[in-house]
Structure 1
């Protein structure tokens, strides 16, 4: 038995307000990043279904490059690599929080692109032909017939991506973003209570992901997603 090792959970309770502040920033970065990630992913996903070769090629390079590299590398490249270039050229830099949002947007966008592509291509072509036979334009057929059904099928994987991106924000502690993990590290540096604080951080992440999963199951049930 190791002597002199005493757990003090009071430190974790005392640090809870600071950790909750980190949760707030974690959620803001996740939601903002996924908002822009969905826009980027939807555009790339639709481009991946296009017969336009340049659009298809650009979207494919983006998806494969981002999915083939870790988000931590992407965040470090953006915050240190791109910022170095920006400082040398226009004397301006991307701050840590915007860098985190951009990293989530770019990373999640590549995965959302495949979600969009798969959902759109899963719609039976007969429905497209039916819409066209009714006199709808290609755009209106897509907007009124294909997209609503495809979006319904996207809900479960989009929910999973939300959880993945939320957990990925913990990596932004490496670029000094004050999210949940970073706040925990700050407390540990002052108290040396690593076991207690990291346990509390893990519990808070688990509480967030379980809450999101519960909401998603409710939404899927209400919308009868299958």
Structure 2
């Protein structure tokens, strides 16, 4: 099930102790490219898609108090795939530090060292037997009216993250690398802010 919300989450939506989150933007530079959609799921088969529209398109911009409250709630774990981009985009657009977070891409890179395939489509296929379509990945997310195909694509990016994290967390524990992953996750909000300041290249951790 897909539920589209314009501007903010409804007051009565609850995600429990963990929520899967993804974003759609106008491009891959969080400093430049507008945040258009935030997808969320409690792992129950329902995806809530919050469309963020600027005032010039009849929206409310960053005026989304319910969404912001959830993103910053220390009692709710946020599950991302490639959290580095999403937390930067959310901070830049909404001014909120998203925490605590985990990232399935980082987890995969730490334990699936036998492959260089760590994309969400690869993980869903290899670990869950689910084949995701990426056909709408490069479509125009900034339009005022999103298509059913776009919403279906956006929803698919969060509906499987709980199951993926469960599988990857078990692998991290098995390989004795959960503590390393947790340290990476703790740093991710600051890594996103460094990217927004232009420190992704050159990387301040490089020689």
What TM bracket, shorter-length normalisation? under 0.3
TM-score normalised by structure 1 residue count: 0.26
Pick the structure with greater CA Rg: 1
Q: Which has the higher helix share?
A: 1
TM-score normalised by structure 2 residue count: 0.28
